[in-house]
Amino acid sequence: MHQVSALITGFEPFAGGSDNASWEAVRALPEELTLAGGAVRLRRELLPVTFAGAAARVRELIASGRPDVVVHVGLDASAKAIKLETTAYNEATASIPDNSGAQPDHAEVVPAGPRRRHSTWAAHALAGRLSATGLPVTTSDDAGRYVCNTTLYTALDAVEEDPTRPTGFVHVPLATTIGTPIVTRTLAALLVELADQVRRHHAHIQGMSRLSVPRPSRPLRVGLTGGIGSGKSTVAGMLAARGALVVDADALARAVVEPGTPALEEIKQAFGQGVIAADGGLDRAALAAVVFDDDEARARLEAMTLPRVAAAAAEQMEAAGPGRVAVYDVPLLAEGGMADLFDTVIVVRAPRELRLARLEARGLARADAEARMSQQASDGEREALADLVIDNDGAVEQLEEQVAGVWQALERG
Ligand code: PCA
């Protein structure tokens, strides 16, 4: 698959404005963006700032064009950076009338639809990767309750039968906050990234390796995952010994909330002094208790931490330089919907009993180990995403042998 189609929309002016930064940035995009060995064709469309009109037009555009990628763009006059929205709410509320004079008050966007829907792209990982290239991108879990939120909710409703189709929303600041050229450049980079994900997804579901998708000159990006106790870190060590640069997601997740970091400051502001330990560091247990069972609190926390983890990961991996193999050792690759972000995905697996025995040997009580396993994706879910599987159920020599085979495949890449 070399040609990818994308729908990208901006909005008309509203609230007395004479233009809308979203459309100014979208209209400046070219008709086609170049991919390595392919292209993404753009359909650029202007949406009305009316609840009913935007929803109807979005449904029509998605149904008639069947685009591979759907990106809606709107203005948030208070935004400081470009924001990838993670969440749409099934609620329309307006403090000012829309351009048709409609002013809903807690109306449902889709009658009897779920309370919220999540964008089908890995927003945090994308924001991190784009910001690592110097673009001003972050994530947000609240697109408001105005026309933009309705647009996102409707689009996610429309693509529900195919949740692998990347669909989401970008809020952009006023042109006086961030100039239109930077916004256009960011949208182009986002579209290229999403189009490459679509190409990898198609390669994978057609039974080919994601490695078959052409790439520009840069390090090979490898996602390495496995359930707790699978021996993923042992494999990471073996790949490092052969020359891979290994980036550890868990280590970055700790680093971004060290004392003195902006993330820890934001967490303190949002969740209170109660989540800060006596030594000024993060009290993980207290924070876990706050977000446990509270999806909205968890989403807010993730918006503070995950884009920073992803940005640090992308920076470190790209620093490996072209021709090198950069491995991201990430436990929650499947859970985070990140598989197609990588040029190839390696899954390490081991039988459940063996994993439990390893965890017990490390001092984790069996019940705790089982509880942690039940919170992770299943082996089947992880394996379904893999380009390469490593079985870690035998002697270390057997593991080395498989890693040698995998390394050859990566070097051929
Ligand atoms: N911004 C509004 C609607 C159209 C736009 O550009 C919003 O954030 O809902």
| Closest ligand 1 atom to Cα of 150 | 9
Instruction: Give the chain's length.
Output: 413
- Cα of 75 to ligand 1 centre, how many Å? 5
Integer Cα distance of 322 and 320 in angstroms:
7
Pairing of strands 116-118, 69-75: unpaired
168 is known to lie in a ligand binding site: no
Q: Verify whether ligand 1 is closer than 6 Å to residue 11 (CB atom).
A: yes
For ligand 1, say whether the CB of 74 is within 6 Å of any of its atoms. Answer: yes
Among protein residues, the one whose CA lies closest to atom 2 of ligand 1: 148
Q: Is 232 among the annotated ligand-binding positions?
A: yes
Residue 364, token pair as written in the block = 């984790």
Pocket flag, ligand 1, residue 49 (CB < 6 Å): yes
Span 101-138, pLDDT tens digits: 999 999 999 999 999 999 999 999 999 999 999 999 99
Per domain, the residue ranges of the chain are 4-205, 217-254+305-412
Q: What is the pLDDT of residue 169?
A: 98
Counting atoms of ligand 1 from 1, which one is nearest the CA of 151? 9
The fold for domain 217-254+305-412 equals Rossmann fold (3.40.50)
Segments of the chain scoring below 70 in pLDDT: 1
The residue whose C-alpha atom lies closest to atom 7 belonging to ligand 1 is 148
Residue partners of 162: CB distance under 8 A and separation at least 6: none
Please tell me the number of Cα atoms within 13 Å of 269 on its side-chain side: 8
Position 161 scores a pLDDT of: 80
Residue 93: predicted pLDDT: 98
pLDDT of 168:
97
Cα(14) to centroid(ligand 1), Å: 8
Question: Long-range contacts for 210-218 (Cβ within 8 Å, ≥24 apart)?
Answer: 210/340, 210/342, 210/343, 210/344, 210/345, 210/387, 211/343, 211/344, 211/387, 211/409, 211/413, 213/343, 214/35, 214/36, 214/37, 214/38, 215/36, 215/343, 216/36, 217/322, 217/323, 218/318, 218/322
pLDDT of the residue at 23: 98
| Per-residue confidence (pLDDT) for residue 329, from 0 to 100 | 97
Rounded to the nearest angstrom, the distance between the alpha carbon of 12 and the centre of ligand 1 is: 9
Ligand 1 binding pocket includes 20 (Cβ within 6 Å):
yes
Q: How much distance in Å is there from the Cα of 259 to the middle of ligand 1?
A: 36
Fold for 4-205, please state it: Aminopeptidase (3.40.630)
Closest ligand 1 atom to 148 CA:
9
Q: Is 22 annotated as a binding residue?
A: no
Q: What is the pLDDT of residue 299?
A: 87
